[in-house]
Amino acid sequence: MEIKSSSFFKSFQKCMGPLYFYKVLILLQVLLGRYFSLSKSKLTRFFTKLYCVFMYIHMIYKWNDVVLVSHKFVLPPFIMSEYTGYFVISIILSEDYFFNFCDNLLTNDRVMGFKNIPHVPPNVIGFMLITVISRVAFVLTRHFTVSLPSVHLIYVTVLLISLDLSHIYTCVIFCMIQLRMKVLRCFLENIHIPINIVSGNEVEMSIKNVRKSLYYYNNLLDSMAAIDKHTQCMVSKLYLHQ
């Protein structure tokens, strides 16, 4: 079953590759202080975690510098608490399951014969564009309206980008599942069981497709169950900061 999409999204998917977009998203979050397991090597994990702890402490220090030295609350005070929440969740949960989650989804897609499912859901691309435009507008507005040193403005921007990437990451997880649920619904809608009992082969094929659909749906539930603890923490934290 092939999924129709615009030429823009098709060319974007070819450039991204199956997991390229997600690898870039994860790497950017690590650079901004949120821990993800980048390798199975214990030494690599240790230094990655050490870097994230250092980055978090550095951001806390600079945030206090912005607030106490500049005496300007350029951002709501709960922004740093949200950044802290993401950091704590990443350290405790280790964030080493995401690519297993993606691999399981891609494997299930191949088993079902679902082709051309976007690796990056179109609504995520739209959300990213809106986020980038909004962030650029916010930074430019602050730059011209608030007498904040350029160095402090850079740290504020880095903090906001880190939160934006975390929101996009959360959005990606749910959009990947939502997209596959839509594909599964279309697949089930195209299954027709003939009334004529003579058409035994068609009935058998339809029953087989229904079973495959139930198996695929069960695998989607298992994939979500594997990251249930993480998604509950992420959604709860987003809800508390609304």
pLDDT in tens, 152-187: 777 778 888 888 888 888 888 888 888 889 888 888
d(CA 131, CA 125): 10
Task: Fill in the amino acid letter for 93.
Answer: L
pLDDT for the residue 2: 46
More confident residue, 40 or 119: 40
pLDDT tens by residue, 58-93: 888 877 766 655 555 556 667 788 888 888 888 887
DSSP string, 167-193: HHHHHHHHHHHHHHHHHHHHHHHT---
pLDDT higher at 194 or 121: 121
Task: Give yes or no for a contact between 141 and 157, defined as CB atoms under 8 angstroms apart.
Answer: no
Instruction: List 115's β-bridge partners, or say none.
Output: 2
Instruction: Classify residue 184: in a domain, yes or no.
Output: no
pTM value > 0.85 = no
The answer to whether 125 touches 12, Cβ cutoff 8 Å, is yes
* 201 or 179, higher pLDDT: 179
Interatomic CA distance for residues 106 and 227, integer angstroms: 16
Which pLDDT score, from 0 to 100, does residue 125 have? 78
How many CB atoms are located within 10 Å of the residue 217 CB? 15
Task: Provide the 3-class DSSP secondary structure of residue 8.
Answer: helix
Domain with 156 in it: 7-96+111-175+225-240
Task: Please state the domain count of the chain.
Answer: 1
Which neighbouring-strand residues pair with 2? 115
**pLDDT tens digits for range 204-222:** 788 888 888 899 999 998 8
Question: Does residue 138 form part of some domain?
Answer: yes
How far is the C-alpha of 99 from the C-alpha of 24, rounded, in Å?
Answer: 12
For residue 235, give every residue at least 6 positions away whose Cβ sits within 8 Å of its Cβ, in sequence order, or none: 170
**pLDDT for 199:** 56
Question: Is 189 contained in some domain?
Answer: no
Residues contacting residue 77 through CB under 8 Å, at least 6 positions apart? none
Q: What pLDDT score does 45 carry?
A: 87
Give the separation between CA 172 and CA 68, rounded to whole angstroms.
36
pLDDT of residue 231: 79
In a domain, 101, yes or no: no
52 neighbors 26 (Cβ within 8 angstroms): no
153: its two tokens: 């403005």
Query: Residue 124, exposed/middle/buried by CB under 10 A (0-12, 13-18, 19+)?
Result: buried
Contact between 219 and 209 (Cβ < 8 Å): no
Report yes or no on 15 lying in a domain. yes
190 falls within a domain? no
Q: Residue 195 domain-assigned?
A: no
pLDDT at residue 50, as a whole number: 93
pLDDT over 90 at 51, yes or no:
yes
Give per-residue pLDDT as tens, 110-167. 888 887 777 777 777 787 788 878 877 877 777 677 666 677 777 778 888 888 888 8
- Rounded CA-CA distance 79/69 in Å is 18
Identify the band that residue 8 occupies on the pLDDT scale cut at 50, 70 and 90: very low
Q: Is 43 part of any domain?
A: yes
